[in-house]
Amino acid sequence: MRTTIFTGPSLPPGEARALLPQADVLPPARRGDVYRARESGSSRILIIDGSFSQVLPVSPREVVEVARDGAQVVGASSMGAVRAAECWPVGVHGVGAVYRMYRAGLFDSDDPVVVATDPDDDHAAVSVALVNIRAAVGRLYGLKLITRSQGAELRRVAEESYYPDRVWRLLFKKAGIDDPRGVIAEAAARVDIKRTDALRAVRFLSALPVGAATDGDGRRFDQGPRYASHDPLLGHSRAELDLSLPPFVFGTGRYQKYIRFLLAGQVDFAGLTTRGGAKLSRNPSVEPALARLFLDRPSLSANLMDKIRHFRQFETEVMLWHAVHRLKDHKTSRTEVTPPQEAKARDSVARAHGYDDWDALTADRRGDALPSGVPLAWIEEACRDLALARS
């Protein structure tokens, strides 16, 4: 009887192999992987981790068809819990607290379980899942390490943070929790219900009676398209996007959410704070580091595109850029941007860069760029495009 386990950030592959040595342990499941596991002869399949938005995830239909084909399919912890909660009527087994929360309807999206991962380190998690944060808040309060109001604030900032930014040190800073000795962070890191669920699922799978599953007969599943395919490039070439998207992302100020990752290894973010409502790029420790990267714009642009793809934001950024330029291109030559429309676009872009208004941004310029290195030409082009698109 062949067994396949899909895991990564929730449970290291080595630990899964130690618990179930005979199993094939594979990276997080992508679209078609469960089909392929069944076609290769697996009769028991455990989905712990799976891919999310950027790479097509394993679909409910795929899980249902493999289960109906006679395989024992078990889901837990992360994507596995989501799919098990959706597909339990056909016999898919769900294991653990996360699965029960999805079955109870407490969550209606994958955001509570998604994390940023490092593909070069067995897809190890580099951020904290929201389900773990919520559980940790209760634990920290029970240990009297935080107050009830601090716990509420910590949960709020976690829920409002982009999932790669859900890192304990950053969350504590945003929530105003002082942890100079790291005691709170250490206690929080010990709360990992995704890992606990994954371990339970591996043990559950190993205890399932062998006769409950049937071996695959080598048949091939029909994996043909169920709907017209979506072009993530929206008709543009990869080369065109690599050239046009970075200036737009930098010019509009949307690059702010990628700063920490663009500067990884160059700036120690420990203790860095922003002043008032300013963006991190306005921090005096960040500005020169970012400006140095702008000395090699092609490399910086390529790095930005890598980060956009890694954090599954590629389609989002492309769709926004495409929408602005389609709107702009559809305007007739007679369309005029009024001064109020232009001022509104400029002020909104200035705020995205961390300034109060356009006058404050231009007053801070250093030649043809901001102190952060963002070229004024990119910012002005973004203002013109947005103003025309909105006119």
Tell me, what amino acid is at 97? Answer: A
Cβ atoms of residues 171 and 137 within 8 Å = no
Q: In the prediction, which pLDDT does 274 show?
A: 58
Look at residue 107 in the predicted model and tell me its pLDDT: 87
Q: What domains are there in the chain, each with its CATH number?
A: 2-111+194-212 (3.40.50), 121-192 (no CATH), 238-390 (no CATH)
How confident is the model over 238-249, as pLDDT tens digits? Answer: 899 999 999 999
Q: How far apart are CA 83 and CA 89, in angstroms?
A: 11
| pLDDT band per the 50, 70, 90 thresholds, residue 57 | confident
Region 359-364 average pLDDT: 95
Does 161 have pLDDT greater than 60? yes
Q: According to the model, what pLDDT value does residue 314 have?
A: 85
With 60 as the cut, is the pLDDT of residue 208 above it? yes
Where do runs of H (alpha helix) occur along the chain? 13-19, 33-39, 60-68, 79-87, 97-103, 130-142, 148-160, 168-175, 183-189, 193-207, 238-252, 259-262, 287-293, 297-310, 314-330, 339-352, 358-363, 376-390
Q: Taking a C-beta distance cutoff of 8 angstroms, is the pair 317, 240 a contact?
A: no
**pLDDT band of 260, cuts 50, 70, 90:** confident
pLDDT of residue 234: 78
pLDDT of residue 275: 55
- pLDDT of residue 327 exceeding 80, the answer is no
- 300 pLDDT above the threshold of 60: yes
Q: What percent of the chain has pLDDT over 70?
A: 90
Q: What's the pLDDT at 280?
A: 77
Quote the pLDDT of residue 163: 87
| Cβ proximity of 258 and 304 under 8 Å | yes
For 57-74, what is the mean pLDDT?
A: 92
Q: What is the pLDDT of residues 210-259, one digit of tens each?
A: 655 666 666 677 665 554 556 778 788 989 999 999 999 999 999 988 88
Average pLDDT of the residues in 374-381: 96
Separation between Cα atoms, residue 282 and residue 384, nearest integer Å: 23
| pLDDT per residue as tens digits for the range 104-136 | 889 878 899 999 888 888 899 999 999 999 999
